[in-house]
Amino acid sequence: MANPSADLYDELYYRHYCGELPYERTEAWLRFFGGVADRIVAEIAPKTVLDAGCALGLLVESLRDRQVEAYGVDISEYAIRSVRPDIAPYCWNGSITDPLPRRYDLVVSIEVLEHLPREEAEKAVANLCQFTDDVLFSSSPIDYREATHFNVKPPEYWAELFLRQGFVRDVDCDASFITSWAVRFRRQSVTMQRLVHDYERRFWPVWKENAELRSLVNELRGRVDAFERDNDGLKRHRAAADELLQLATQRLAEIENSLSWRMVKKVVPPLQRALPKASVGGRLIASTLERGMALSRGRIRPRTNDAPVATAAARSGGAAPVLDRRAKALHAVNRAGRGLEVGPSFNAMARKSDGFDVEIVDHATADELREKYRGSGVDLASIEEVDYIWRGEPLDELLAGKRYDWIIASHVIEHIVNPIGFLQQCARLLAPGGVISLVVPDKRYCFDYFRSPSMTGDFLQAFVDERRCHAPGVVFDQFAQSAKRVAGANGASAAPGEISLVHGLDEAKSMFERSRASKDYIDVHAWRFTPASFRVIMTELRLLGLLPLEEACSFPTEGIEFFVTLRAASSATAAVDRDALYEEVAREIVQGFTERKLLG
């Protein structure tokens, strides 16, 4: 395989594909590389350094600002042109597989070699080792999603390559100030006995710490179990109270919709007018009517098919209780049951620390997620421990033999390559009576504003194609049609109606070509919904026999998202007014373009 074109690493790449933050001369990146430079100076103290794959030269400038003779080389012409002017003479455009002009006390390579094909990466290691005796090295072992990561390998792969050149790990150097997998390799002539001795010397305290932590975890689990046993009675009382409240609410709705209540509301006003307010009869009628109306105004109205109380209240003109987004997502969840949350990243709905018996599925471990979001303003402590790493295989294969009372997926369905397959897998994982709670962005109020809503045929095409990555056309549409609010004066938010495209057509074309050239997953909103269009898809897939699920309850859009809970479909097929469903979709689309209220 040929070396990837330097054209891949252009301005678009550095803005959008180097992690959560744009790779630019920002305070966050300068602070990171300044910290790296401080540790290099304090712990290694080299006189000359080469940053192999220096990008914008931020480490080179940080080292030179600390009086270290540092240089940089990078394949990207755009990156080299962006180096700080006074540092530009010390950085050049070139490949790290080409011979270097001199030897260096230290060579640094941070997240570079995974961008090279295997053969080129091996040549690069051999080449760098010819010009130094000391290498500070980091290459991601986990990030398969980035389209230009051609050679993601575990740490032992790189250790073997460096060993071929006579370099072994410095076990006394902690390089985690760069990444959790960073290593310092040094040219050393050591015997096998000495090498084993050093590794065992470092392995023993790590193993001991791990064993003690496991013991502590088991002790804490025992305390938690005892606490939960003490609270079993409280849980039973809470469940009984919730059941009574639900029955009372349903009974109230039945009363309000009854012929008797409608007659009372018609008969009482004439009686009020006929009886003096100060009389016993007048006071009794006024008190009864006042209490009934107060209950009516403050309550939610369940639909006859057990659909959500909030939706029914909105449609009937009643007032629903105020719930935050987490309460809505957990509305139909049996909190005493066992659950699964898919892809919570740093914002789990059902937190283990809140007492939920939940397992977490995500694309990386908790430590890897914390490393990913470090420095981006995320509360790293909020990231849940991940129980299963999902690489795109069917969920029910990954979780073979498991059954859950509830499954939560917040802002996940729009990213899934094959949503029908995903929902079928979730349905197979549900225990009897289980539910799937989805939090879904409303395309009218997010960057999907200009994009057409997805419909059932789009889902069907992805299903029959058995897609493993998004189609290039889908990637193109994401970049060609993404919307943003126009900034007002001094960076202030503009009026709601001022909306523009985020990317130019050239950027969309570049991403289209990148998607065509690579089969790697590129993360986009492949699917766009309004509440009604989502209901159309779910209904039609159920009627087509492809989805054994039906809507149990929902909450209308608030902010940029709406909430839908699915359950196993009943055997009886109720009549569906598809005309009315599509009329609702049309009304929502028109409403979105009329309001022009882009919120996020």
pLDDT in tens, 345-386: 888 999 988 889 999 999 889 898 888 888 888 888 888 999
Mean pLDDT across 407-417: 94
* DSSP-derived secondary structure letter, 295: H
Tokens of 476: 């193109």
Query: What per-residue confidence (pLDDT) applies to 306?
Result: 39
Distances (CA, A) of 120 to 70, 114, 514: 24, 10, 20
- Residue at a domain's end among 154, 189, 224: 189
pLDDT tens by residue, 55-106? 999 999 999 999 999 999 999 999 999 999 999 999 999 999 999 999 999 9
Pairwise pLDDT comparison (148 vs 271), residue with the higher score: 148
Q: With a cut of 60, say whether residue 11 has pLDDT above it.
A: yes
Query: What per-residue confidence (pLDDT) applies to 345?
Result: 86
The reply to whether 167 and 302 lie within a common domain is no
Residue type, 233: G
Pairwise pLDDT comparison (294 vs 574), residue with the higher score: 574
The reply to whether 258 and 330 lie within a common domain is no
User: Within 10 A of 274 (CB to CB), how many other CB atoms are there?
Assistant: 10
- Residue at a domain's end among 280, 299, 316: 316
CATH at 422: 3.40.50.150
Pairwise pLDDT comparison (134 vs 378), residue with the higher score: 134
Nearest to 332 by CA among 546, 553, 163: 553
The burial of 240, by beta-carbon neighbours within 10 Å (0-12 exposed, 13-18 middle, 19 or more buried), is given as exposed
Helix or strand or coil: residue 480? Answer: helix
Query: What per-residue confidence (pLDDT) applies to 305?
Result: 39
Rounded to an integer, what is the distance from CA 586 to the centroid of its chain?
30
Task: Give the C-alpha separation, 566 to 557, whole Å.
Answer: 17
Q: With a cut of 70, say whether residue 550 has pLDDT above it.
A: yes
Residue 463 in contact with residue 421, Cβ under 8 Å?
A: yes
Q: Looking at the domain assignment, is residue 228 inside a domain?
A: no
- 184-194 burial by CB neighbour count: b if 16+ within 10 A, else e? bbbeeeeeeee
Of 38-42, 56-60, 519-523, 586-590, the range with the lowest mean pLDDT is: 519-523
Q: Looking at the domain assignment, is residue 222 inside a domain?
A: no
Mean pLDDT, rounded, of the chain: 84
The reply to whether 29 and 152 lie within a common domain is yes
Residues 6 or more apart from 181 whose CB is under 8 A from it? 138, 139, 140, 141, 155
Q: Which helix (H) or strand (E) holds 171?
A: none
User: Within 10 A of 548 (CB to CB), how many other CB atoms are there?
Assistant: 16
Query: What per-residue confidence (pLDDT) applies to 196?
Result: 83
Q: Looking at the domain assignment, is residue 212 inside a domain?
A: no
Q: What single string gives the DSSP state of each residue in 484-523?
A: EEPB-GGG-B--TT-EEESS-HHHHHHHHHHHHH--S---
Pairwise pLDDT comparison (260 vs 591), residue with the higher score: 591
Q: Looking at the domain assignment, is residue 211 inside a domain?
A: no
The reply to whether 377 and 497 lie within a common domain is yes
The reply to whether 407 and 296 lie within a common domain is no
Q: Looking at the domain assignment, is residue 275 inside a domain?
A: yes
Query: What per-residue confidence (pLDDT) applies to 236?
Result: 64
The reply to whether 94 and 176 lie within a common domain is yes
Nearest to 410 by CA among 445, 437, 444: 437
Of 284-298, 312-326, 414-428, the range with the lowest mean pLDDT is: 284-298
Task: Give the C-alpha separation, 517 to 512, whole Å.
Answer: 9
Query: What per-residue confidence (pLDDT) applies to 232?
Result: 67
pLDDT tens by residue, 241-267? 677 677 777 767 767 666 656 666 666
Q: With a cut of 50, say whether residue 312 has pLDDT above it.
A: no
Q: Looking at the domain assignment, is residue 430 inside a domain?
A: yes
Residues 6 or more apart from 573 whose CB is under 8 A from it? 543
The reply to whether 407 and 305 lie within a common domain is no
Task: Give the C-alpha separation, 225 to 470, whole Å.
Answer: 44
* DSSP-derived secondary structure letter, 68: -
Residue type, 83: V
Q: With a cut of 50, say whether residue 319 has pLDDT above it.
A: no
Tokens of 345: 């990243």
The reply to whether 425 and 516 lie within a common domain is yes
Q: What residues make up the domain containing 277?
A: 237-316
Share of the chain above pLDDT 90, in %: 49
pLDDT tens by residue, 440-479? 999 998 999 889 999 999 999 999 988 888 989 999 999 9
The reply to whether 523 and 378 lie within a common domain is yes
User: Residue 298: which pLDDT band, with cuts at 50, 70 and 90?
Assistant: very low
The reply to whether 157 and 285 lie within a common domain is no
Q: With a cut of 50, say whether residue 15 has pLDDT above it.
A: yes
- Residue at a domain's end among 189, 222, 254: 189
Q: With a cut of 90, say whether residue 310 has pLDDT above it.
A: no
Task: Give the C-alpha separation, 566 to 548, whole Å.
Answer: 10
Pairwise pLDDT comparison (15 vs 256), residue with the higher score: 15
Nearest to 51 by CA among 59, 43, 62: 59
In the chain, the number of structural domains is: 3
Distances (CA, A) of 533 to 53, 415, 541, 543: 47, 17, 12, 15
Strand partners, 106: 49
Task: Give the C-alpha separation, 412 to 590, whole Å.
Answer: 26
Task: Give the C-alpha separation, 563 to 551, whole Å.
Answer: 11
Give the position of tokens 């109606």: 497
Of 198-207, 462-471, 586-595, the range with the lowest mean pLDDT is: 198-207
Query: What per-residue confidence (pLDDT) applies to 284?
Result: 57
Q: Looking at the domain assignment, is residue 168 inside a domain?
A: yes
Q: With a cut of 60, say whether residue 3 has pLDDT above it.
A: no
pLDDT tens by residue, 142-170? 888 787 888 899 999 999 999 999 999 99
Q: What is the length of the chain?
A: 600
Task: Give the C-alpha separation, 329 to 410, whole Å.
Answer: 8
Main-chain phi, psi angles of 91, to 5 degrees? -125, 140
Of 114-128, 182-196, 246-260, 405-419, the range with the lowest mean pLDDT is: 246-260
The reply to whether 428 and 541 lie within a common domain is yes
Q: Looking at the domain assignment, is residue 1 inside a domain?
A: no
The reply to whether 39 and 153 lie within a common domain is yes
